[in-house]
Amino acid sequence: MARRRPPERDPLAGAPGAGATLGEWLGFAEALYGSEGLALGQVSADAHDEALYLILCALGLPLGSGPEVLDRRPSPRDRSALRAVLRRRVVGRTPAAYITGEAWLGGLRFLVDRRVIIPRSYFVEIIAGLRGSPARIADVCTGSGCLAILLARRFPGAAVDAIDLSGPALEVARMNVRAHRLSRRVILHRSDVFDAVPARRYDLIICNPPYEPSAVCDALAPEFLSEPRLALDGGADGLDIIRKLLRQATALLAPRGRLLIEVGGLRAAMDREFAALGLRWLPTEDGADCVCLVRGEDLRRAAQRVRS
């Protein structure tokens, strides 16, 4: 006799009923983040903040709503919208940004979907602190185009080449560049690092490459597995794209130009392998300090030493 499958547990079975306030919905959602082991870090590192963001988006309420919004009692239609959103996040393990179709970085809104990684780069801090007036900039591994757009706004006189190997990611980047009215200054290139980009001399090159070692990518939480593998996987030791970038940038970076690379947990590996470059690590608010700076003249000096 066929055995009956046990009934599936529904994490939303205890959802607040009629008469409950949004504050109660928020408490319920926040508890689910803990009990269901949802992964954080793509939209916010904090379950309260992410759950509130999802609730406000689901009901079309302003993200800047004050605490009084939590006293509202959702209508039956609102309640089914809240249940639908929570089901996608909790049962489907869909990242919040893919549910809302947007991500915020540096106060700007970017369109996102599964074609691109969700913007969360440390470069948002670094770009805000950059000085000088670079005329030509490259953003290698541009993804959604978020950093190229932040750079173009930070340096209104600059032309920015935004480069990615992924055609689907570049479709999203194109939408963002248009939405921010920067199509004349941010030029998109489909290329493996600089392979297919016309040779130019850059004053500034930035790159937030895929830098996770492949084995780390295999074991990621479902939320991170929803992101394109190409955006995360940096090869066996995480350094594949970085090595290629450093090789190519030697000929492309102006002598006084700057190359900035975000490397996640690879700081020690970078210092070991590229000791000759005298990498400088830029401070970030949370102390991760995982963005390094290399000068054009240091790249060239190190390359000459290898040749001689």
Ligand X SMILES: C[S@@+](CC[C@H](N)C(=O)[O-])C[C@H]1O[C@@H](n2cnc3c(N)ncnc32)[C@H](O)[C@@H]1O
Interface residues toward ligand X, by CB under 6 A: 117, 119, 121, 141-144, 146-147, 163-166, 169, 192-193, 208-210, 230-231, 241
Q: Give whichever of 16 and 143 is closer to ligand X, judged by the CB atom.
A: 143
Q: How far is the CB of 13 from ligand X (least distance, A)?
A: 37
Q: How far is the CB of 32 from ligand X (least distance, A)?
A: 27
Q: How far is the CB of 244 from ligand X (least distance, A)?
A: 7
Q: Give whichever of 61 and 230 is closer to ligand X, judged by the CB atom.
A: 230
Which two tokens mark 46? 């904090």
- The residue of the chain with the least Cβ separation from ligand X equals 143
Q: Give whichever of 22 and 117 is closer to ligand X, judged by the CB atom.
A: 117
Q: How far is the CB of 143 from ligand X (least distance, A)?
A: 3
Q: How far is the CB of 259 from ligand X (least distance, A)?
A: 15
Q: How far is the CB of 53 from ligand X (least distance, A)?
A: 18
Q: Give whichever of 58 and 144 is closer to ligand X, judged by the CB atom.
A: 144
Q: How far is the CB of 121 from ligand X (least distance, A)?
A: 4
Say how far apart CA 8 and CA 229 lie, in whole Å: 30
Q: How far is CA 30 from CA 33, 91, 126, 258, 275, in A?
A: 5, 14, 32, 43, 45
